[in-house]
Amino acid sequence: MSMTTLLTFTPWPAVSAAILLILLVAALYFARDTAHQAIHVAASALARGLKVASLSVTHAQQNLAARNREVLLAAGREAKERIVEREFTRVGDTVRKDLAGYPVMHRRLSEAIQRIEEDQQKAVEVPPEVPGWTEAVKVVADLDARNAGADILADIHKSMVKAHAEAMDAWRKASSERHALLRRMMPDWRLIQETLGRVNKSVDSIIGRSQAIDRHMEEYEAIVRGEDRAVAVLSSSSIVYFFVSALVLAVATAGTAVNFTLIARPMAEMVGGTNYIGAWRTADIAALVIIMVEISMGLFLMETLRITRLFPVIGALSDKTRVRMMMTTFMILLLMASIEAGLAYMREVLLLDEMATNALLRGDSAGEAVNAHLWITTAAQMGMGFVLPFALVFVAIPLETFVHSLRTVVGLLGIAVLRALALVLRLLGNASRHLGALAQRLYDLPLFVPLWIENRMRAAAREAAGAQVTEAHT
Amino acid sequence: MKRRALILSVALALSGCGPSTPHNTGVYLLIDTSGSYNRQVRQAEHITLYALSRLQSADSIAVARIDTGSFTERDIIAKATFDDRPSTANQQKRAFASHVEKFIDQSSPAAYTDITGGLLQAIEFLNEKHTARKEILILSDMKEDLAKGYVRDIPLDFRGFDVVALNVTKLRTDNFDPRQYLSRLDEWRVRVEKGGGHWRVINDLDHLDGLL
């Protein structure tokens, strides 16, 4: 039924339109409560659904945060254990080293002290004896005879001067001996000083290490207790480690690319330059495989050296097996490095051959292109071919850090995404509730006339009821 | 779910290990040795060397002359499919260049010009090689002159072929009436394109950069 047909049920379309409008408004007015309820129920249901979804996402985010926290604390605990273990090993080494030398040091100190004591005893100054002449002189002087004791006194004086001279000589000699003994003590004193200095240094080192261990233990205890501060520190460290290790891995990737360039061309001589596996040349894949095998050997080498701990199985091997594995991986790595050096040399030979052929095809003389210093680049290429596999061994360290920190960083990113999602869902829930209210208001908009009339009638009814109550009271 | 992933990974691995599409190029150079063009034969060496410098391992090349009856293997001066190993391929290139040079030094003019026969031989050769890219280079004035009894009015299947006419010189009669030259080239273009091929003309041999 078209609009035109609807407007023809009276001869006057305007009247028809007015009647239709009135009917429509009346229908909307009578259906108002039901419509409001429907809108309210729909909006509430949507809001509730979004709220439930938001709560669910929040719950997932909390679970992830808890899991991330556990992972962080476990990683932190493990790292601290390694640090403390290493510190204890160092302290042990220091103590073992010093204690191993302790009997010798003790003997040397005792001997030095004994020598000093002996020398000191020998160097004690013996006071010169009081000459016995003094009493005799007094006796002679007291004699009452005239000039009777003058000769005696002169003799005594002579003897005294002589005795004094002899005593002085003896004293000088004794002093000289004492000084010699004291001089002899000097090296012993120095020895004692040096030995005690060394002991002091060792003790200081042990004290320093014990303080470091105390600090690490405090941090370890904080981690074990699961303190928020410890988690925050670990989280921040993890992000830093992630970016640093990613940077180092990027450098290692560049090194791998250089390595690949060195061996890709000569690999074509070995496996053919025209075979393809999928969209990739077999020679390129072979070169990549060689590099990957080298990196794998590097990882195993680092594992067997217990520098990294990516494979617990290797760490749990007995020392004998581990050393055997270390030797094997090192030998394979050495072999690969030698092969790479050979391939790098072959690359230069092939390059020269190709240059000569191209020169011939261009009509140039092939001999003119040969450079006398070309051996430098050849040697450099061979050197790089040999060294790069060993350099790539150290990729294991940043790789381990990257793998460990990646777990935390991905967890943090997941938490952030889930948190944002929960917020968006909550906002949408609130928005749907408000949109329901808005829809109710919009529904009422065309009904303003009947609603106004309804309000007026209600107001009149309230006034009438108020008047009746007043009359009843009066 | 795990089973599906396993099947998918196996399928991917099998598709990766399957026979790969060829990436090689095949080049067939036809050299017009007729009396009207024999003076230009020296250019063939230049083009051959250029082609050799552009080709890689597993590519194929053949150089053949156009004479009275060109639909025969005897007209192939030199042919080679380069080895997988780049060093061997380089040796082959040097030997090939030397062979072509020797031919050019000893070349003698032919009485007739059987271009169609040469093209048929080229198509046959390159189809046998199953190369991914097929290029037929024709060093000629493109004036066909068949001896009596040679039937060459046959359709040619140029699907997948690039046909490049090089150094198409003008004949004396072309100077009187250039339409002859233009219509001659146009006829060949129509013939190649009708056969499903791609036609090109390069007259400036100092600028072969677009070739191969």
Cα torsion angle, B141, B142, B145, B150, sign: positive
Give the mutation candidate from B25, B45, B50, B53 for the A interface (greatest A CB count, under 10 A).
Answer: B53
Amino acid at B51: A
Give the strand pairing for B76-81 and B60-66.
antiparallel
Cα–Cα nearest to B162, from B191, B139, B188, B192: B192
Q: Do B20 and A353 count as a contact with CB atoms less than 8 A apart?
A: no
Q: Nearest-CA distance from A339 to chain B in Å?
A: 18
Which tops the pLDDT comparison, A188 or A52? A52
Q: The pTM is what?
A: 0.63
Cα–Cα nearest to A79, from A230, A248, A298: A230
The values of phi and psi at residue A365, to 5°, are -85, 130
List of chain B residues whose C-beta atoms are within 8 Å of the C-beta of residue A362: 49, 53
List of chain A residues whose C-beta atoms are within 8 Å of the C-beta of residue B89: 273
Q: Do B86 and A354 count as a contact with CB atoms less than 8 A apart?
A: yes
Helix (H, G, I), strand (E, B) or coil at A393: helix
Helix (H, G, I), strand (E, B) or coil at A209: helix
Tell me what the pLDDT averaged over chain A comes to: 85
List of chain B residues whose C-beta atoms are within 8 Å of the C-beta of residue A276: 20-21, 23
Q: How far apart are CA B102 and CA B208, in angstroms?
A: 23
Tokens coding A232: 């925050």
Element (H, E) at A6: helix A3-6
Tokens coding A184: 């002899």
Residues 6+ apart with CB under 8 A from A178: A122, A123, A125
Q: Which residue has the tokens 């830093």?
A: A240
Q: Among partner residues A276, A277, A361, which is closest to B49 by beta-carbon distance?
A: A361
- Answer for the pair A50, A408: CB distance below 8 angstroms, yes or no: no
Q: Is B205 exposed, middle or buried (0-12, 13-18, 19+ CB in 10 A)?
A: middle
| Percent of all residues in chain B with a pLDDT value above 90, rounded to a whole number | 30
- Answer for the pair B56, A273: CB distance below 8 angstroms, yes or no: yes
**Alpha helices for B40-177 (secondary structure H):** 42-54, 86-106, 115-129, 172-176
Q: Do A361 and B97 count as a contact with CB atoms less than 8 A apart?
A: yes
Cα–Cα nearest to B141, from B178, B185, B103: B185
Chain A: residue nearest B55 by CA?
A358
Is B20 an interface residue toward A (CB < 8 Å)? Answer: yes
Q: How far apart are CA A111 and CA B89, in angstroms?
A: 85
Chain B: residue nearest A267 by CA?
B85
Quick check: A123 pLDDT over 50? Answer: yes
Q: How far apart are CA A93 and CA A87, in angstroms?
A: 10
- Residue numbers of B between 87 and 116 with CB closer than 8 Å to A: 87, 89-90, 93-94, 97
Q: Among partner residues B20, B86, B97, which is closest to A268 by beta-carbon distance?
A: B86
* Average pLDDT for A55-68: 92
Q: Nearest-CA distance from B196 to chain A in Å?
A: 28
- Answer for the pair B160, B134: CB distance below 8 angstroms, yes or no: yes
**ipTM of this model?**
0.70
pLDDT, position B171: 81
Q: How far apart are CA A178 and CA A126, in angstroms?
A: 10
| Percent of all residues in chain A with a pLDDT value above 70, rounded to a whole number | 93
CA-to-CA separations, A294 to A146, A246, A253, A333, A383, in angstroms, rounded: 122, 20, 13, 6, 16
pLDDT, position B1: 46
Q: How many CB pairs under 8 A join A and B?
A: 59
- Answer for the pair B22, B131: CB distance below 8 angstroms, yes or no: yes
pLDDT band at A126 (very low <50, low <70, confident <90, very high): low
Amino acid at A138: K
Is B130 an interface residue toward A (CB < 8 Å)? Answer: no
Residues 6+ apart with CB under 8 A from B31: B41, B44, B63, B64, B65, B66, B77, B139, B140
Is B15 an interface residue toward A (CB < 8 Å)? Answer: yes
* Average pLDDT for A154-161: 81
Q: Do B97 and A353 count as a contact with CB atoms less than 8 A apart?
A: no
Chain A: residue nearest B16 by CA?
A278
pLDDT, position A295: 92
List of chain A residues whose C-beta atoms are within 8 Å of the C-beta of residue B97: 360-361
Q: Do A274 and B93 count as a contact with CB atoms less than 8 A apart?
A: no
Q: How far apart are CA B132 and CA B146, in angstroms?
A: 32
* Average pLDDT for A357-367: 73
Q: How far apart are CA A275 and CA A273, in angstroms?
A: 6
Q: What does the pLDDT look like over A37-51, one tens digit per residue?
A: 999 999 999 999 999
List of chain B residues whose C-beta atoms are within 8 Å of the C-beta of residue A358: 53
pLDDT, position A206: 82
Q: How far apart are CA A263 and CA A339, in angstroms?
A: 10
List of chain A residues whose C-beta atoms are within 8 Å of the C-beta of residue B45: none
Q: Is B68 exposed, middle or buried (0-12, 13-18, 19+ CB in 10 A)?
A: middle
- Give the bridge partners for A453, in sequence order: none
**Alpha helices for A363-394 (secondary structure H):** 374-393
Chain B: residue nearest A358 by CA?
B53
Q: Nearest-CA distance from B103 to chain A in Å?
A: 16
Low-confidence ranges of chain B (pLDDT < 50): 1-2, 14, 16
How many CB atoms neighbour CB B52 within 10 A? 25
Is B14 an interface residue toward A (CB < 8 Å)? Answer: no
pLDDT, position A128: 62
Q: Do B53 and A361 count as a contact with CB atoms less than 8 A apart?
A: yes
List of chain B residues whose C-beta atoms are within 8 Å of the C-beta of residue A354: 86, 90
CA A118 to chain centre: 59
Q: Among partner residues B23, B52, B86, which is closest to A361 by beta-carbon distance?
A: B52
- Answer for the pair B30, B137: CB distance below 8 angstroms, yes or no: yes
Chain B: residue nearest A272 by CA?
B84
Provide the edge-to-edge strand list for the sheet that holds B133-139.
B76-81, B60-66, B25-32, B133-139, B161-166, B198-202
- Give the bridge partners for B66, in sequence order: B32
pLDDT, position A373: 79
Tokens coding B92: 């082959």
Cα torsion angle, A344, A350, A356, A358, sign: negative
Q: Do B85 and A268 count as a contact with CB atoms less than 8 A apart?
A: yes
Q: Do B84 and A277 count as a contact with CB atoms less than 8 A apart?
A: no
Which tops the pLDDT comparison, A33 or A116? A33
- Answer for the pair B54, B135: CB distance below 8 angstroms, yes or no: no
List of chain B residues whose C-beta atoms are within 8 Å of the C-beta of residue A265: 86
Q: Is A126 exposed, middle or buried (0-12, 13-18, 19+ CB in 10 A)?
A: exposed
Give the mutation candidate from A343, A350, A357, A365 for the B interface (greatest B CB count, under 10 A).
Answer: A357
- Answer for the pair A115, A188: CB distance below 8 angstroms, yes or no: yes
- Answer for the pair B131, B80: CB distance below 8 angstroms, yes or no: no
List of chain A residues whose C-beta atoms are within 8 Å of the C-beta of residue B93: 357, 361
pLDDT band at A64 (very low <50, low <70, confident <90, very high): very high
Q: What does the pLDDT look like over A213-227, one tens digit per residue?
A: 888 888 888 888 888
